[in-house]
Amino acid sequence: MNIILEKEITMGEVYKTWLMSMASLNTQRKYQGSVTMFCDMVFGKKPEDITSDDISSIRYRDTITKFVQPLKDKGVKDSTIKAHLTAMRQLVRMMSRNHIYNDSVDYSDLIANVLNVDTLKTNDKEHHETLSEKELDMLKKWFKSKEYRSEDKHLGRKYAMLSSFMYATAIRVTAIFNIKWSDFTVTNSPYGGNWAILKAKDKGQKINEKPIAMVSVRFS
């Protein structure tokens, strides 16, 4: 009887699977950057090269002294550091799901304690007020009066229109440039006038519906 031995999964394969599991390319890039930074600062290695000895020997003090405090000393905000640790915990969860290094690693303790710093604040983000209509008008005038290195004489007006569109829809920049004409549906409002319903794919592939009043636009 022939016995087929299943090939053990490598850390490189686990890392690749983790990246492929991300909902969007933007999330993948952010998490990849966070994990690469952590592994470099704590292990002196790339994420795909960390071994069972690396991951089993890490302690809470290592997270603090090698990662958290050095970043704080550089002026990095607590909320940003917390986001980096969240990414690292996600990679560790993927390692646990793939049963790599199971014999030598306590994944539950690693996720709950070693890579979790409760003292980091989450309310240190800067919040900005919504752009006012007066400020929007000033921005549009600036776009129109700016000199561009382009043969397109209407480029400034196009930027002004784009800023108005973003202001009206509150859609992220990453979503704006993927919008197609087929994403709009024209409808009559029961309160009068025509409206365009925009269905835009936003962060995490979520569909956001935005009602927009129909207006005529001219370049001249």
| Cα angle 158-162-164, degrees, rounded to a multiple of 5 | 115
pLDDT of residue 220: 42
> In whole angstroms, what is the distance from residue 87 CA to residue 19 CA?
11
> In whole angstroms, what is the distance from residue 162 CA to residue 175 CA?
13
pLDDT of residue 26: 83
pLDDT of residue 130: 64
| Residues 77/97, Cβ–Cβ less than 8 Å | no
pLDDT of residue 128: 52
pLDDT of residue 83: 93
Sketch the domain layout of the chain as residue ranges: 11-114, 133-213
> In whole angstroms, what is the distance from residue 101 CA to residue 55 CA?
9
| Residues 54/43, Cβ–Cβ less than 8 Å | yes
CB neighbour list of residue 120: distance below 8 Å, 6 or more residues apart: 68, 78, 79, 81, 82, 85
pTM score, whole prediction:
0.56
Ranges of residues in the chain whose predicted pLDDT is under 70: 1-7, 123-130, 189-193, 203-204, 213-220
The pLDDT tens digits for 23-66 are 788 889 999 999 999 999 999 999 999 999 999 999 999 999 99
pLDDT of residue 4: 44
CB neighbour list of residue 77: distance below 8 Å, 6 or more residues apart: 124, 125
pLDDT of residue 190: 62
> In whole angstroms, what is the distance from residue 60 CA to residue 116 CA?
8
